[in-house]
Amino acid sequence: MQYTKKFSQITKKSVKEAGGKGASLGEMTQAGFQVPPGFVVLAHTFEKFIQEAGIIEDIQAELNKVNYKDTNSIDRASNVIRDIIDKSIVSKDVEDSIKKSFVDLGAKFVAVRSSATAEDSKTASWAGELETYLFVTKVNLLKQVKKCWSSLFTPRAIFYRHEKKLLNTKVSVAVVVQKMVDSSVSGVAFTVHPVTEDKNQMIIEAGLGLGESIVSGSITPDSYVIDKKDKLIMDIAIANQEKMMIIKGAKGGLKWQKVPKVKQEKQKLSGPKIMELSELCLKIEKHYKHPQDIEWGMEKDKLYILQSRPITTL
């Protein structure tokens, strides 16, 4: 039995075993979008775990006790169930398999996210309600995987399933483990000029360090305008950048760091890299047949697509 699958082994049809998020990352990987590599702890691995741990009945008993009109009652059930899962032992073969997948990935830090599965996609849309853990290392990986598993039983998830009358529907959870990109340069791209709405132009914004600082608007990034048809860079506006966000030490977390004076006024991405990134973004736009708002990062000269969303304001 296979407990994990690499993104490259997953397609958009894999929702049942990899969840919505996992399947989507698999699809992007297959399409060559250079998403950070990763693997999925498959949904049946979770099922095997609760079965082997013999806790299915315990969980069901707790759920049966819930008074849905009383939020304290829901909270109490959630706490008990999540505690049960946390204390249960994962079988050696599952633990070995997850750790081996992590080693194969070759990443220092990973992001661990739950990726819910359900028989219909509407149910899966509460994937967003589930949990994400950043800067996870090999040492605490298994603990976080279990937390993702137990995120099926957060008070909100329990209440949601009750409200939508899904209590008898089979729900399960896969866990996505994805390399965290330690970006030296990162930013966003709009495949259509967001101001002029010119469909022939794309804008790439780039700043030093992790993308969080750009997305949140706390630094002003360089801005490059690309002509999509002629494949030329029409305009380069360089922004002076004094501080950058980086990963804080071995335990993860973020911190600000001063940018050395000589690097402050330098162009953040070279011309060939801008073109490489714009080709990548064009591919994504073409794939989804809609203008995209893309988050990207570059680690050791390799570009990664961190997220891509349709631009809905056009």
Taking alpha carbons only, the member of 244, 280, 239 closest to residue 260 is: 244
Any contact of residue 164 with other proteins (CB under 8 A)? no
Interacting residue with other proteins among 55, 166, 215, 238 (CB under 8 A): 238
Residue pointed to by tokens 């099926």: 152
Any contact of residue 227 with other proteins (CB under 8 A)? yes
Q: Which one, 105 or 281, has the nearer CB to other proteins? A: 281
Any contact of residue 223 with other proteins (CB under 8 A)? no
Q: Which one, 13 or 263, has the nearer CB to other proteins? A: 263
Any contact of residue 236 with other proteins (CB under 8 A)? yes
Q: Which one, 24 or 201, has the nearer CB to other proteins? A: 201
Is the separation of the CB atoms in 239 and 217 below 8 Å?
Answer: no
**Least distance to other proteins, CB of residue 236, Å:** 6
Is the four-CA dihedral 90, 92, 94, 96 of positive or negative sign?
Answer: positive
**Least distance to other proteins, CB of residue 238, Å:** 7
Q: Which one, 80 or 233, has the nearer CB to other proteins? A: 233
Q: Which one, 52 or 276, has the nearer CB to other proteins? A: 276
Interacting residue with other proteins among 63, 171, 254, 275 (CB under 8 A): 275
Any contact of residue 32 with other proteins (CB under 8 A)? no
Interacting residue with other proteins among 272, 289, 300, 301 (CB under 8 A): 272
Interacting residue with other proteins among 218, 255, 270, 314 (CB under 8 A): 270
> Which residues of this chain interact with other proteins, rule CB under 8 A?
224, 227, 230-234, 236, 238, 266-267, 270-272, 274-275
